[in-house]
């Protein structure tokens, strides 16, 4: 048994599988899943006019209920579902964060005041872009309500993904999470060609990566005779010799997961999808998929492959460095704000990987904190993007943000806050996050990675700062977009994101305690 495993596993549950299923422990997943099913039924049976309010009640109610259960479950550490699901500290923190972020994302998706034509989604995704049908639907004020079942299903997958303790569960969760997102990405009301293209790219590449993931699972199964992470870890300790099978399996598994976290060189879908997808969905997916995927990655690496730490560390090391650098470097010449944030999210993935690579409880805690900080900031940033508009919809080209501070000082200030947080300026959540992962990494001896991270941070700071330059230091042009006053939905989401960004920057202690107490993954 590796040193890590000894450190990580302190309980004797290793050989003990719970008989049956602890339903309360997996209730958050079940609640959301149940709500999703109900939501599908609502689509079928509830009259069109009533669908939106009903769906909203279901979504908000179920998310809040799930959140309540997660909070109630705090401190739980158990493995249930015949070893398929691990409900432990990290899982619960991620689930909690996912639920809160999902709630904010739901608010953004429910926003109707921003776009004069309705919400951010095509009234009928099946209608041809620009066709008479579409215009008719728009005129009638149809709203797409199928987004809600998709949303809930994706959320189900996300909640299960970091909890999955065997690779089959993980694969299923991955697909449950991904498939609805593929569809959601293609449902933008405006710029539908881009949106559809994003959906296609996301789907094909996502499926492609799933195939890798699955094949990797197959190899590991072939090696260990089980898809359980614990069993794989044990087999690795027992017979560390079978090089090729394990190496191939591990590599392909990593490819699938790294695709989801958008690590270089598996990142290329990210800019296209982030740019093309409807902005609330981009915000939702940028924040939550990253959490869920890192949750799964962490569990696979720490629990399943912890014994092979010395094998995967150098590779992930290079990938992390590349991810930070490539993401940051390409972002500096972007002209579309959503695309820029997509590259930024790639770079951020690299920073989180630093925490992952610390391979220590501190690394896990710091990665969790970073994910929380990043998720709130990101969803807030996309909320702002959804509000900055001109006649053709969202004004995502950076030139249209020139002098925005004149038109709306408050929004410009909030967006600047998010940019500074992403850049990692102190007194914002992003700084504490970066500080945490760097600290964990240096404590584990990954000093050079931190130095690369520092260099990448500087490069990244350039493009975050550039947005501030454009908003504050340039004079408004006739093309400058205006900021639409949103309804309470977006306002709440934005306020929450901004508040968390500041509070986590100034008083991070409670959350740091939370992630520290989350301890380690259960085995």
Partner 1 sequence: MTELMPAEGVFSLIWLLIALPLAGAVILLFGGRRTNAWGPYLGILTVGASAVIGILMLLGMMQNDPEQRTIGQTLFTWVFVGDFSADMAFQLDQLSIVFVLLITVVGTLIHIYSLGYMAHDPDKRKFFGYLNLFVAAMLLLVLANNYLLLYVGWEGVGLASYLLISFWQIKPSAAAAGKKAFIINRVGDVGLSLAIMLMFVTFGSVGFQDVFGVAGQASEGTLTAIGLLLLLAACGKSAQFPLQAWLLDAMEGPTPVSALIHAATMVTAGVYLIVRSNVIFTAAEWAAIAVIVVGMITIWMGAIIGSAKDDIKKSLAGSTMSQIGYMIMAAGLGPIGYVFAIFHLLMHGVFKAGLFLGAGSVMHGMNDNVNMRRYGALRPLMLITSTTFIICYLAIIGIPPFDGFFSKDDIIHASFERSPIIGVLAMLAAGLTGFYMTRMVAMTFFGKARWEDDVHPHESPKVMTIPLIILAIGATFGGLSLVYWGNIESWLEPVTGIETMELALPAWVFELTTLVLVIIGAVIGWMTYARREVPIEAPRGSWLTRAARKDLYGDAVNDVLVVQPTFYASRWLVWFDNKGVDGFVNGSAAFIGGLSGRLRHYQTGFIRSYALSMVGGAVLVVLALVLVRAS
Partner 2 sequence: MTTFPWLTTLMVVPLVGSIVVALLPKARTLLAKQIALVVSVATLVLTVLMALQFVGDSVEPFQFVESHPWIPAFGISYSVGVDGIGLVLVALAATLVPIVVLAGWNDVDDSRGSVKGYFALILVLETLMIGVFAATDVFLFYVFFEVMLVPVYFMIGRYGGAQRSYAAVKFLLYSLVGGLFMLASLIGLYVVSAQMTGTGTFDFLTLAGLNIDEGVQKMLFLGFFFAFAVKAPLWPFHTWLPDAAAESKAGTSVLLLGVLDKVGTFGMIRYCLPIFPAASNFYAPVVIGMALIGIFYGAFVALSQNDMKRLFAYSSMSHFGFITLGIFVFTSVGQSGSVVYMVAHGLSTAALFLTAGFLMSRYHGSSQISDYAGVNKTAPVLAGFFMIAALSSLALPGMVSFIGEFLVLLGAFERYMWVGALATLGIVITAAYVLRLYQRTMTGPLKPELEGMPDLRGREITALVPIAVLTIVLGLFPAPLLNVINPAVDRVMTSIGATDPAPTVTGAALEQPGLPAEGTEQ
Partner 3 sequence: MNPSNYVVLSAVLFSIGAVGVLVRRNAIVVFMSVELMLNAANLAFVAFARMNGNLDGQVVAFFVMVVAAAEVVVGLAIIVTIFRTRRSASIDEPNLLKF
CA distances in angstroms from 45 to 36, 54, 55, 189, 289, listed in the order given:
14, 11, 12, 25, 31
Q: For partner 1, which stretch binds (CB under 8 A), given 52-60, 311-319, 396-404, 435-443?
A: 311-319
Q: Which does 78 bind (CB under 5 to 8 A by kind): partner 3, partner 2, partner 1, none?
A: none
User: Is residue 338 within a helix (H) or strand (E), and if so which, with residue range?
Assistant: helix 337-357
The residue among 237 and 439 lying less far from partner 2, judged by its C-beta, is 439
How many other CB atoms sit within 10 Å of the CB of residue 105?
A: 28
Residue pair 266/254 in contact (Cβ under 8 Å)? The answer is no
List CB contacts of 227: < 8 A, sequence separation 6 or more.
166, 167, 168, 217, 220, 221
Rule CB under 8 A: say whether 312 interacts with partner 1.
yes
- Could you tell me how many residues of this chain bind partner 3 (CB under 8 A)? 42
Residue pair 146/52 in contact (Cβ under 8 Å)? The answer is no
Rounded distance between C-alpha atoms, residue 341 and residue 47, angstroms: 39
The residue among 341 and 468 lying less far from partner 2, judged by its C-beta, is 468
Rounded distance between C-alpha atoms, residue 360 and residue 309, angstroms: 11
The residue among 35 and 347 lying less far from partner 2, judged by its C-beta, is 347
How many other CB atoms sit within 10 Å of the CB of residue 320?
A: 27
Q: Which does 439 bind (CB under 5 to 8 A by kind): partner 1, partner 2, partner 3, none?
A: partner 2
> ∠ at Cα 415 (412, 421), nearest 5°?
140
Q: Which does 508 bind (CB under 5 to 8 A by kind): partner 1, partner 3, partner 2, none?
A: partner 2
Rounded distance between C-alpha atoms, residue 97 and residue 120, angstroms: 24
Residue 26, helix vs strand vs coil: coil
Q: Which does 438 bind (CB under 5 to 8 A by kind): partner 1, partner 2, partner 3, none?
A: partner 2
Residue pair 489/110 in contact (Cβ under 8 Å)? The answer is yes
Q: Give, as ranges, the residues between 446 and 475 that touch partner 2 (CB under 8 A).
A: 447, 450-451, 454, 457-458, 461-462, 465-466, 468-469, 472-475
The residue among 198 and 494 lying less far from partner 1, judged by its C-beta, is 198
Q: Which does 443 bind (CB under 5 to 8 A by kind): partner 2, partner 3, partner 1, none?
A: partner 2
CA distances in angstroms from 438 to 353, 371, 457, 478, listed in the order given:
10, 14, 12, 44
- Could you tell me how many residues of this chain bind partner 2 (CB under 8 A)? 38
Give the full edge-to-edge strand order of the sheet including 388-390. Answer: 393-394, 388-390, 482-483
Among 39, 62, 156, 275, binds partner 3 (CB under 8 A): 275
List CB contacts of 362: < 8 A, sequence separation 6 or more.
436, 439, 440, 443, 444
Q: Give, as ranges, the residues between 152 and 181 that touch partner 3 (CB under 8 A).
A: 168, 171-172, 175, 179
Q: In which region does residue 81 sit, left (phi positive, over 0), alpha (psi from -120 to 50) or beta (all else)?
A: left
Which DSSP symbol is given to 80? Answer: E
Q: Which does 331 bind (CB under 5 to 8 A by kind): partner 3, partner 2, partner 1, none?
A: partner 1
Q: Which does 255 bind (CB under 5 to 8 A by kind): partner 2, partner 3, partner 1, none?
A: partner 1
Beta carbon of residue 343, minimum distance to partner 3 (angstroms, whole number) = 11
Q: Which does 509 bind (CB under 5 to 8 A by kind): partner 3, partner 1, partner 2, none?
A: partner 2
Beta carbon of residue 129, minimum distance to partner 3 (angstroms, whole number) = 6
Rule CB under 8 A: say whether 330 interacts with partner 1.
yes
Rule CB under 8 A: say whether 454 interacts with partner 1.
no
The residue among 317 and 435 lying less far from partner 2, judged by its C-beta, is 435
Interacting residues toward partner 1 by CB under 8 A = 200-201, 204-205, 208-209, 212, 243-244, 246-248, 250-252, 254-255, 259, 264-266, 268-269, 271-272, 310-312, 314-315, 319, 326, 329-334, 459, 462
């Amino acid at each position: 048994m590796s040193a890590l495993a000894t450190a990580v596993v302190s309980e004797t549950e290793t050989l003990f599988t719970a008989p049956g299923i602890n339903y309360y422990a997996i209730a958050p997943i079940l609640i959301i899943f149940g709500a999703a099913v109900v939501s599908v039924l609502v689509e079928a049976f509830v009259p069109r006019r009533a669908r939106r309010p009903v769906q909203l009640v279901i979504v908000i109610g179920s998310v809040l209920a799930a959140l309540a259960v997660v909070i109630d479950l705090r401190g739980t550490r158990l493995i249930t579902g015949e070893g398929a699901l691990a409900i432990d500290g990290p899982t619960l923190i991620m689930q909690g964060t996912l639920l809160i972020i999902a709630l904010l994302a739901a608010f953004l998706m429910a926003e109707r005041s921003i776009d004069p034509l309705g919400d951010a989604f095509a009234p009928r995704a099946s209608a041809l872009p620009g066709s008479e049908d579409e215009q008719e639907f728009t005129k009638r004020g149809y709203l797409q309500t199928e987004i809600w079942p998709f949303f809930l299903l994706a959320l189900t997958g996300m909640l299960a993904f970091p909890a999955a303790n065997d690779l089959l569960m993980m694969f299923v969760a991955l697909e449950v999470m991904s498939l609805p997102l593929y569809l959601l990405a293609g449902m933008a009301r405006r710029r539908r060609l881009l949106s559809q293209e994003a959906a296609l790219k996301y789907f094909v590449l996502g499926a492609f990566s799933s195939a890798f993931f699955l094949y990797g699972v197959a190899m590991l199964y072939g090696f260990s005779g089980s898809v359980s992470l614990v069993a794989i870890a044990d087999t690795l300790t027992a017979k560390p010799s079978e090089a090729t099978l394990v190496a191939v399996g591990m590599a392909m598994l990593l490819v699938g997961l790294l695709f989801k976290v958008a690590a270089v060189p598996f990142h290329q879908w990210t800019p296209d999808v982030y740019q093309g997808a409807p902005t609330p969905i981009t915000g939702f997916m940028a924040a939550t998929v990253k959490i869920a995927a890192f949750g799964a990655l962490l569990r696979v690496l720490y629990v399943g492959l912890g014994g092979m730490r010395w094998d995967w560390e150098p590779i992930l090391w290079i990938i992390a460095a590349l991810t930070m650098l490539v993401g940051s470097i390409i972002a500096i010449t972007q002209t579309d704000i959503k695309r820029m944030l997509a590259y930024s999210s790639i770079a951020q993935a690299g920073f989180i990987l630093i925490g992952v690579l610390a391979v220590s409880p501190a690394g896990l805690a710091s990665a969790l904190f970073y994910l929380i900080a990043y998720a709130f900031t990101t969803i807030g940033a996309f909320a702002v993007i959804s509000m900055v508009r001109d006649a053709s919809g969202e004004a995502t080209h950076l030139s249209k943000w020139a002098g925005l501070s004149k038109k709306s000082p408050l929004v410009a200030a909030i967006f600047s806050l998010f940019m500074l947080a992403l850049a990692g300026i102190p007194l914002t959540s992003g700084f504490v996050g970066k500080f945490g992962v760097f600290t964990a990494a240096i404590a584990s001896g990954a000093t050079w990675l931190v130095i690369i991270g520092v260099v990448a941070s500087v490069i990244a700071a350039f493009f975050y700062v550039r947005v501030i330059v454009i908003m504050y230091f340039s004079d408004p042009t006739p093309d400058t977009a205006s900021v639409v006053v949103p309804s309470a939905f977006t306002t709440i989401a934005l306020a929450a994101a901004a508040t968390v960004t500041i509070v986590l920057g100034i008083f991070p202690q409670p959350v740091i305690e939370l992630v520290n107490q989350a301890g380690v993954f259960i085995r």
